[in-house]
């Protein structure tokens, strides 16, 4: 028996038969790093071909979702209370401007003393044959106290109320009514907003008697 070694193929001759066993030949295809996956190149065939066909692969993109941010309950309460207070004053404007005393959805944003205060004030104006026209500006509403752990959560706001463009007007003449010259038209006001079962409501709205 005579053996000849040539490359990776070993050919063995005996006096009875000629044998050609196949020994695999591997072409190393180095690891290819893709987005989200690691692919390895396949093995080439041991048979001789004019040109080995390279394996094809497709990249898959993995997009991770941004982490969910949990809202701060205290900050949420402050935002809701401020939004309620600003909306409340828009409804107050409507009620004071209506000589029938029906305009403005006051109960959607106010309750208790604050609601009674607006209804009484608007009714007094109608008794004097007057309405209040124009706009009220609520500047810099700031939460000075927040308690969401009590039975009825509440937020206390401090704001600067500007009524300089809110004019008492005679219903018949449609002319402005004379007002005291030294009256405050920009003053600090303190409001208490509570979270009732039906939602946030202005409970008290108290002028502080000082300019802002």
Residues 96 and 33 placed together within one structural domain of the fold: no
Residues 127 and 22 placed together within one structural domain of the fold: no
Residues 18 and 100 placed together within one structural domain of the fold: no
What phi, psi does 172 have (nearest 5°)?
-75, -50
Residues 112 and 159 placed together within one structural domain of the fold: yes
Domain total of the chain: 2
| Closest by Cα among 158, 164, 144 to 208 | 158
Burial classification of residue 63, based on how many CB atoms lie within 10 Å of its CB (0-12 exposed, 13-18 middle, 19 or more buried): exposed
Residues 108 and 190 placed together within one structural domain of the fold: yes
Residues 79 and 177 placed together within one structural domain of the fold: yes
Residues 78 and 159 placed together within one structural domain of the fold: yes
Residue 65: inside a domain: no
Residue 48: inside a domain: no
Give the separation between CA 17 and CA 182, rounded to whole angstroms: 127
Residues 30 and 125 placed together within one structural domain of the fold: no
Residues 24 and 81 placed together within one structural domain of the fold: no
- CA dihedral over 84, 89, 93, 99, signed as positive or negative: positive
Report the Cα–Cα distance between both ends of the chain, in Å, rounded: 114
Cβ atoms of 35 and 62 closer than 8 Å: yes
- Written as six digits, the tokens of 179 are 């007002």
Residues 106 and 32 placed together within one structural domain of the fold: no
Residue 175: inside a domain: yes
pLDDT at 43: 34
Residues 35 and 77 placed together within one structural domain of the fold: no
Residue 49: inside a domain: no
Give the separation between CA 109 and CA 83, rounded to whole angstroms: 10
Domain holding 123, by residue range, is 73-211
- What's the CATH code of the domain at 165? 3.10.450.240
pLDDT at 67: 65
Tens-digit pLDDT profile for the chain (212 aa)? 434 333 433 333 434 344 344 444 333 333 332 223 222 233 333 344 445 555 444 444 555 556 667 678 999 999 999 999 999 999 999 999 999 888 989 999 999 999 999 999 999 999 999 999 999 999 999 999 999 999 999 999 999 999 999 999 999 899 999 888 888 999 999 999 999 999 999 999 999 999 99
| Helix H or strand E encompassing 122 | helix 112-127
Residues 185 and 98 placed together within one structural domain of the fold: yes
């Amino acid at each position: 028996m005579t053996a000849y070694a040539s490359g990776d193929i070993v050919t063995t001759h005996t006096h009875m038969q000629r044998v050609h066993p196949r020994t695999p030949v591997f072409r190393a295809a180095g690891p290819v790093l893709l987005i989200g996956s690691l692919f390895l190149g396949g093995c080439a065939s041991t048979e001789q071909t004019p040109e080995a066909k390279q394996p094809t692969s497709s990249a898959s993109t993995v997009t991770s979702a941004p982490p969910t941010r949990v809202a701060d309950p205290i900050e949420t309460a402050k935002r809701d209370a401020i939004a309620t207070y600003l909306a409340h004053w828009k409804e107050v404007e409507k009620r004071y401007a209506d000589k029938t005393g029906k305009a403005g959805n006051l109960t959607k944003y106010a309750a208790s003393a604050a609601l009674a205060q607006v209804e009484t004030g608007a009714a007094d104006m109608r008794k004097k044959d007057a309405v209040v026209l124009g706009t009220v500006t609520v500047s810099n509403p700031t939460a000075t106290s927040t308690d969401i752990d009590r039975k009825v959560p509440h937020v206390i706001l401090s704001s600067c109320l500007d009524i300089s463009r809110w004019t008492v007007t005679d219903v018949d003449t449609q002319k402005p009514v004379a007002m005291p010259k030294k009256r405050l038209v920009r003053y600090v006001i303190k409001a208490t907003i509570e979270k009732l079962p039906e939602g946030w409501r202005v409970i008290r709205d108290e002028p502080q008697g000082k300019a802002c």
